[in-house]
Amino acid sequence: MTAPLTPPHQPPHDPDWPPPPPPPFGPSGDSITPAEVLYGVVVTIVSAVTGALLGWLWLSLAPHVLLISDGKGVYLRDSEGESAIGADGTFVLLALAFGAVAALVVFLLRRKGGVPLVLGLALGGVLGSLLAWGVGTYFGPARDVVAHAKAVGPNVAFEAPLELNMAAAAMLAWPLAAMIVHLALTALFGPRDPEPEYWGPRPPEQKTL
């Protein structure tokens, strides 16, 4: 019995069998290009600016909380109303819709996806939510309730400032929706990686009698 001339872990030398090509992006087979980083920055900026539209919609669609003063204090006109909770719910629903639409637009424009795009959607969603919060509270009813009550007079209803009681959770609605929808679209409809080519040893040829 003789030992094989070719080690079992190496393919036999064959001039017609070319060596495997080097990986296109280094040892890991993947890398982030400057163009992808630029796409991520653009997505972040556009998402953040779009937050102004979210703020305007929130201000327009959120239920209004009415206050009234008796000259000594300020009270809720409808103590059993749910308008205060409705402001948070309106913001969250709008933010979820904005995140889903942003993810869909980014996927349609850049089906390849990538880490910078996902990070851009997340960071842009947070910045857009902060801008929306600022727009809604700044352009909404006056925040100085006491001064507003004195200005309108006693027994006259006026709108309370627009507020978010669960601000931390509301700020996460947009980025979470954007990342989940984008990852789902990429997994379902994104381009598939090509099957790796086999560069191992050739099977032995069958000899015919």
55 assigned to some structural domain? yes
Q: How far apart are CA 144 and CA 67, in angstroms?
A: 12
175 in any annotated domain: yes
pTM: 0.72
3 within domain boundaries: no
Domain membership of residue 57 (yes or no) is yes
Between CA 114 and CA 136, with CA 105 as vertex, the angle to 5 degrees is: 110
- The predicted structure's pLDDT at residue 152: 76
3-state SS, the chain, equals CCCCCCCCCCCCCCCCCCCCCCCECECCCCCCCHHHHHHHHHHHHHHHHHHHHHHHHHHHHCCCCEEEECCCCEEECCCCCCHHHHHHHHHHHHHHHHHHHHHHHHHHHCCCCCHHHHHHHHHHHHHHHHHHHHHHHHHCCCCCHHHHHHHHCCCCCEECCCCCCCHHHHHHHHHHHHHHHHHHHHHHHCCCCCCCCCCCCCCCCCCCC
Q: What is the pLDDT of residues 61-87, one digit of tens each?
A: 998 877 887 767 776 766 655 566 788
201 inside domain: no
Per-residue confidence (pLDDT) for residue 108, from 0 to 100: 93
Residues 96-136 pLDDT 10s: 999 999 999 999 998 887 889 999 999 999 999 999 999 99
- Grade residue 27 by pLDDT with cuts at 50, 70 and 90: very low
Domain contains 185: yes
Structural domain includes residue 121: yes
Q: How far apart are the first and last CA of the chain?
A: 25
The answer to whether residue 112 is domain-embedded is yes
